[in-house]
A and B are shown apart, each in its own frame.
Chain A
């Protein structure tokens, strides 16, 4: 088997055992990228030079018997909204097409400290606003299982890179499902952590009260490994939670004990595709075969999650994206020989620098926050949020774990939905609740529909990542789908 199809843990162990050099692994990964990248377009920027430098450094540390980090030599990809010092960070936007951050995000510092090899920055929906990775200024990413199909989004590049053997691990970010949706569509594992578990310092903000950086991998163990590195309190992110550092991998093999599983009724009822339901209930029956009781639970306020999420997220976006003014960094209007006043310059720069979906969200967010509509839309959404959270709190009094399909429909064709924004927003109905409640949620593969992956979502109360991951490992075993290899 090719080295790039090994798991992250396997490749690290081989490097540590000196069976293979980090540099050799990296060479093979870059060959793989050359072979498939023309079809997939998972990356916006590759950092070959920096990557080989780091790989050589890791190899010499190992040769000299020095201590190395727990991600030693593992080639890894990073979503292009996470700041990397000296490496272009574009957010998939013309607005930042040439932006080079002068500092690293906290998660990047942590990865480098554990000797990971950063191979490149992955494609994404512009400013993480999208469900398909079609809104990127750098062209769409394609699903490695079928290149006429979307990989999901917004972290589509990260999921597609991991799925196609271009990277062992990747970081994504998840505001309304942007890690879990592409994980589901690409047949990989993706986790959105508890809000505040992972520092957002250096993550370019879209809707900061919901978003989290999280891991994408080809199996649950690797996902837990990457989470263990990036989790933890950070003084530079005042919303990060003070928690002990946990090695989530060490918890995976312990017995899970008795768990009560709730199937969220509103996520398996109307509007859910039959193929998705068939795969989902196939998984449920496997749980029941293990004598794990699964019972339906209703959370009626789920009906409102799409408007609540989008109204709050768009409001935050309209404010967060005001910083892109063409003065300090990124794209700027060419004003050679012209004298424009500030408002004209600012409006024209933004009008030509942002893509269609970003503009749509800024306009709608501005609307929801403007006089006369603030109470009706923004404040109303914050109140509805209280009710939605209450609904989940109630459900978690009876159940340890909640499960649902990750996406209500199987992966679809490029261009199929992009002209109908509302139809795309509605695809997020099953992933949004974890963002609105701040809880951890993971998507793992649970089946196929015409050779396209279908995912299942596992949720637990805040800071129960250990339980989510333990249950995900058990599920991965009974489903029997891990380290999937699309034929690309």
Chain B
């Protein structure tokens, strides 16, 4: 079995925060590095469990695909959809520049 890697560096935390689009303060980065290392050290016990040839479980009640007729039904009114928008213009959400 592959040797368990148990440590995660502050650089990795920074990278993960970027992947998750989650801005962290310097204090948070330090705190999470410490806490996540402790948690991962415990979670690493999983590597001792032999799962060779064991299929993964993707769904608890064994459902596969669920289809229904593609019949149009009423959907939410545009004003209701925009009701919670922090910023909007006419019937559009307004957001920061993406490209």
Contacts and interface: CB of A to CB of B under 8 A. Distances in A.
Interface of A: 98-100, 102-103, 194-196, 209-210, 235, 238-239, 241, 301, 303-304, 306-308, 310-311, 318, 322, 325-332, 335, 339-348, 350-352, 354, 356, 359-360, 362-364, 366-367, 370, 376-377, 379-387, 389, 421-422, 425, 436-438, 462
Nearest to B66: A238
Contacts of A386: 51, 54-57
A380 B66 contact: no
Contact of B49 (A241, A304, A310, A362): A304
**Majority secondary structure, A binding face:** helix
Interface of B: 2, 4, 8, 12-13, 16-25, 28, 32, 35-36, 38-40, 42-43, 45-47, 49, 51, 54-61, 63, 66, 68, 76, 80-81, 83-87, 93-98
Contacts of A437: 60
B45 A102 contact: no
Nearest to A101: B84
Contacts of A438: 60-61
Contacts of B86: 326-327, 329-332
Contact of B80 (A98, A102, A326, A377): A102
B42 A307 contact: yes
A340 B94 CA distance: 13
29 contacts: A99-B84, A100-B84, A195-B60, A195-B61, A239-B59, A306-B42, A326-B86, A327-B93, A329-B85, A330-B84, A332-B87, A335-B96, A340-B96, A342-B96, A344-B96, A347-B21, A350-B21, A359-B28, A362-B22, A363-B16, A363-B32, A367-B16, A377-B46, A382-B56, A383-B54, A386-B56, A387-B49, A387-B51, A389-B57
B92 to A, nearest CB: 11
A361 to B, nearest CB: 10
Contacts of B85: 327-329
A421 B35 contact: yes
Contacts of A462: 61
Contacts of A421: 35, 39
A335 B2 CA distance: 47
**Majority secondary structure, B binding face:** loop
Given A354-B22, A370-B16, A376 B84 contact: no
B19 A370 contact: yes
Given A380-B47, A387-B51, A422-B42, 9 more contacts: A307-B45, A327-B93, A342-B96, A342-B97, A347-B18, A347-B21, A351-B24, A359-B22, A376-B4
A335 B59 CA distance: 42
A304 B95 contact: no
Contact of A345 (B25, B54, B81, B95): B95
Contacts of B13: 363
Contacts of B84: 98-100, 102, 328-330
Contact of B68 (A195, A235, A351): A235
The 10 closest A-B CB pairs, nearest first, are A351-B23, A382-B56, A438-B60, A329-B84, A332-B86, A345-B96, A383-B51, A102-B80, A307-B43, A238-B66
